[in-house]
Amino acid sequence: MEQQEKFKQSLEMGRRHSLGQRAFFVFFVGRIKWALFLFALSFGVWYAERWIPTDYAIWGTYAVEVLFSVSAAYLLFVFLETYLEYRYYTYLFTDDAFIMTYGYVVRNEVATLYHHIQNVNIERSVADRFIGVSKIIILMTGSDRGSGRNQIVLPAVGRKKAKLVQAELLRRARRRAEAYFEEA
């Protein structure tokens, strides 16, 4: 109940919302595969180093150090890239539209008017349920259904916050649609 009150207060202030603390974990897990592969390769080379003849042992040590350094640098790069994506993925409720902003080098801003919102779906895979996040898919009216351009996706929002966002979007969409039809 307290989270719901804080959320409603932040809506009235018109501030930007972040995806939530667990979104960083979701983004990081999705990107860490190659870094883990490089660390496994480094360990394999280190383990195989004992079978290298003593004349070439210096090259084995060098290979292990280079692979481990590359693995650590790549892991740091993935961490920073993930943090920047997480940090700059925001959404905002305005009086007329819902606005999602993402990207850290090139900032992208996607907005939809509330009366264009057709449906708000919440998807939760098994992994999402375990972590406690939800994917919010906002479907908009339009003819370009196959390309995905008629939807906005918030990839990793906390479970409770996702329900609040869904309810608020549907409430604003219903209110705008009623006002639109009253004018007509």
Over residues 17-27, mean pLDDT: 86
pLDDT tops 70 at residue 180: no
pTM of the model: 0.77
Single-letter code of the amino acid located at 39? F
pLDDT tens for residues 158-176?
888 899 999 999 988 888 7
Comparing 86-100, 120-134, 141-155, which segment has the lowest mean pLDDT? 141-155
Nearest to 60 by CA among 73, 44, 71: 44
Q: Please give the residue that has the higher pLDDT: either 167 or 7.
A: 167
End-to-end CA distance of the chain: 38
